[in-house]
Amino acid sequence: EQTLSYGELNRRANQLAHKLIELGVGPDVLVGIAMERSLDMVVGLLGILKAGGAYVPLDPEYPEDRLAYMFADSGITLLLTQAHLREVLPIPAAIECLELDEQALVGYSDANPNIEVAPQNLAYVIYTSGSTGKPKGTLLPHQNVVRLFAATQGWFRFDASDVWTVFHSYAFDFSVWELFGALLYGGRA
């Protein structure tokens, strides 16, 4: 079992966000993330969002041909990943890889970045199975995520005592409910 306090999560995500901003990430810039389920994956997702970018989840468990298509179709130029996955994923040479480890973030500020993001800016891109047999990228803005939780808070009365299951792949849309529900209300995942 891995644990990370909200304070440490925020500090690490902020450091990553500053690094990503330095690399040109900002509002509506798509950043791929191909990581195994871990706390670093959560740091990666939050770091991308804190930099103003939108994440494109690429589950390393997906078949190679599906991943290759998603890399090409998404147009990402930057990928957050883990060292052991670089050798097994079909990453095009034109995509810059950033391995998310503690050394990659040394020297970066842990203060909240000063980035303005509008409700209509992209938060993430989820690839569906697609009716043509090819995955289809669905662009989702921040306002959709906020609307989801605003609409359901009255029904469920979420709070910091809640424990959320994080069962689904982060490349599946329902993962937004699982992960960000816990984070928005201070719960545990």
- The span from the CA of 36 to the CA of 167, in Å, is 13
pTM for the predicted model, two decimal places:
0.86
**Is the confidence at residue 143, as pLDDT, over 80?**
yes
Per-residue confidence at 23, pLDDT binned at 50, 70, 90?
A: very high
* Pairing verdict, β 78-81 and 136-141: unpaired
CA nearest neighbour of 18 among 140, 105, 84: 105
Tell me: pLDDT of 162 over 70.
no
More confident: 24 or 166: 24
CB 52 within 8 A of CB 118: no
Please say if the pLDDT value at position 174 is more than 60. no
Tell me the pLDDT of the chain averaged across its residues: 85
More confident residue, 111 or 135: 111
What pLDDT score was predicted for residue 160?
Answer: 65
Would you list the domain boundaries of the chain?
Answer: 6-141
pLDDT at 168: 54
Query: Among 18-27, 107-116, 146-155, which stretch is predicted with the lowest mean pLDDT?
Result: 146-155
Mean pLDDT of 7-34: 96
Per-residue model confidence as pLDDT tens digits over 102-130: 678 889 999 999 999 999 999 999 988 76
**Under CATH, which architecture does the 6-141 domain have?**
3-Layer(aba) Sandwich (3.40)
User: What pLDDT does 13 receive?
Assistant: 95
Mean pLDDT across 160-173: 59
SS (H, E, C) 19-88: HHHHCCCCCCCEEEEECCCCHHHHHHHHHHHHCCCEEEECCCCCCHHHHHHHHHHHCCCEEEECHHHHCC
